[in-house]
Amino acid sequence: MIEQVLVLSLSKQTIERYNTTMSFSEELNIKQGVFTFAGDSKLPLQSGREFGPISVAYETYGVLSKDKCNAILLLHALSGDAHVAGKHNKEDKKTGWWDVMVGPGKPFDTNKYFVICSNVLGGCSGTTGPSSLDPLTKKPYAMTFPVITIEDMVNAQHALVKSLGIDCLYSISGGSMGGMQALKWVQMYPEMIKSVVAIATTTKLSPQAIAFNEVGRQAIISDPAWNKGDYYGKKELPRKGLSIARMLGHITYLSEEGMTRKFGRQLSSSQQFQYEFLTEFQVESYLHYQGQRFTERFDANSYIYLTKAIDYFDLSSGYNSLEEALAMVKSKFLVLSYSSDWLFPTYQSDELVKALRKNNIDVSFCEINADYGHDSFLLQNDLHEKLIHGFLENVK
């Protein structure tokens, strides 16, 4: 049924290839697809370059209503992908990255809403990025991939949403880099969006956060195996550099109180110090484990490109003020921040709320008391679930 709706709504000019596969998890009604566009007329990028063709990997959950007005676009953060909820196969160990929030009876209720999530442009989970093959050279783009921005990501998502025959989004939502995309979306396509849930995000990154991103990038670039980005198909991959970048990233996503609660000063195996430079503390082994696991699923070049896009993001660039940058917005807003998030601190959400309020936009804001730093938005939390659920129920 849903496939019929999707297929019927495809516009032939924009789509060159479309395929969907049936997936496990009937309850969620997960559909996977890849949408390819910008083959002939390339996508103009914010940098001034043009780029194409672009494939966008996406998943949908639930059923699109007949009036096509129940679609919610979810936007993932730096390391996320299109798989937002449930499992594809019974054998899958992990559920999607926001499974706590998306599904039947959950805040993004797939019984009511048609949830769409796609991998971002520049990513490495199905959407065109530095690891994709350049059709001209038949080799991976690597560092010949153009520098992309949040705006470029939004344009790719916009093409996808349009290809699904959807002109109106009931809501768009995302945390962190996902929130940045949501803000850019509502600025670029204000008439399409009824509501925005902007979580643990900012209209521009603080210099401190840019600094951390740069150290992450340098960790990758300094790894000899990075080889100026040309490592695809080689024996040695820049795993060391990527893993250090991820370890650093993880520190910034957590908080001191969160780490204290989770690990304390506990040692991982022995009861006493070894007086050697081993991985002794639990927090160390946690970081090593996270770093290692990340290299199994993420591309080092994508990490470089995506962190740069985050650094460049400034919603008010080209405007005299943030207030002016949001003057076109009509959507209802829910803005959430977390008390222990020092990477995207509450004052940044405050600035967004102030600018929205000055534009007379219907906005609600809450700083949620949570221990786990920036990562709190991904975790189970009754309060943010209640807020998002209540907010979505009241979108008209």
Partner 1 sequence: MKRVLKMLEKRKDLEAILNYIEEGSRVLDIGCGDGSLLYTLKKIKKIQAFGLEIDEEKIAECVSKGLSVIQYDLNKGLPDYQDKAFDFVILSQTLQQVARPDQAIKEVVRVGKKAIVSVPNFGFWKCRFDLFFKGKTPVTKALPHMWYNTPNLRVLTIKDFNDFCQEIGVRIIKTIPLLSSEGDSEKIISLFSNLRADYCVFMLETK
**The one among 365, 372, 373, 378 contacting partner 1 by CB under 8 A:** 365
Q: How far is the CB of 194 from partner 1 (least distance, A)?
A: 13
Residue 184 near partner 1 by CB under 8 A: no
| Beta carbon nearer to partner 1, 108 or 226 | 108
**The one among 300, 310, 368, 378 contacting partner 1 by CB under 8 A:** 368
**Residue 246's closest CA among 279, 216, 208, 209?**
216
Q: Which of 341, 349, 371, 384 is catalytic?
A: 341
| Beta carbon nearer to partner 1, 157 or 195 | 195
Report d(CA 116, CA 20) in Å as an integer. 14
**The one among 78, 156, 310, 363 contacting partner 1 by CB under 8 A:** 363
The stretch near partner 1 (CB under 8 A) out of 24-32, 37-45, 67-75, 365-373 is 365-373
Residue 161 near partner 1 by CB under 8 A: no
Is 374 one of the annotated active-site residues of the chain?
yes
Q: How far is CA 46 from the centre of its chain?
A: 19
The stretch near partner 1 (CB under 8 A) out of 32-40, 253-261, 287-295, 362-370 is 362-370
Is 88 one of the annotated active-site residues of the chain?
no
φ/ψ (deg, to 5) at 171: -160, 155
Give me the sign of the Cα torsion angle 276, 277, 278, 279: positive
Residue 383 near partner 1 by CB under 8 A: yes
**Residue 159's closest CA among 51, 318, 81?**
51
Interface map 293-332 toward partner 1 (x if CB under 8 A): ---------------------------------------x
Residue 117 near partner 1 by CB under 8 A: no
Q: How far is the CB of 380 from partner 1 (least distance, A)?
A: 15
**The one among 134, 257, 284, 367 contacting partner 1 by CB under 8 A:** 367
For the purposes of burial, counting CB atoms within 10 Å of the CB of 281, is it exposed (0-12), middle (13-18) or buried (19 or more)?
middle
The stretch near partner 1 (CB under 8 A) out of 14-22, 126-134, 177-185, 354-362 is 354-362
**The one among 112, 190, 362, 379 contacting partner 1 by CB under 8 A:** 362
**Residue 215's closest CA among 239, 240, 245?**
245
Strand partners, 337: 367
**The one among 88, 158, 262, 357 contacting partner 1 by CB under 8 A:** 357
Residue 112 near partner 1 by CB under 8 A: no
Q: Which of 118, 163, 176, 302 is catalytic?
A: 176
Q: Where are the alpha helices (DSSP H) in the chain?
A: 2-8, 150-163, 177-188, 207-221, 239-253, 256-262, 282-297, 300-312, 322-325, 346-358, 382-393
Q: Please state, as a whole number, how many other Cβ atoms lie within 10 Å of the Cβ of residue 393.
A: 10
Q: Are 343 and 253 in contact (CB under 8 A)?
A: yes
Residue 366 near partner 1 by CB under 8 A: yes
User: Which residues lie below 8 Å from residue 333, measured CB to CB, with a gap of 6+?
Assistant: 195, 196, 197, 198, 353, 356, 361, 362, 363, 364
Report d(CA 255, CA 342) in Å as an integer. 7
Count interface residues toward partner 1 (CB under 8 A). 22
The residues that touch partner 1, with contacts defined as CB under 8 A, are: 332, 334, 353-354, 357-358, 362-369, 383, 386-387, 389-391, 393-394
Catalytic residues: 176, 341, 374
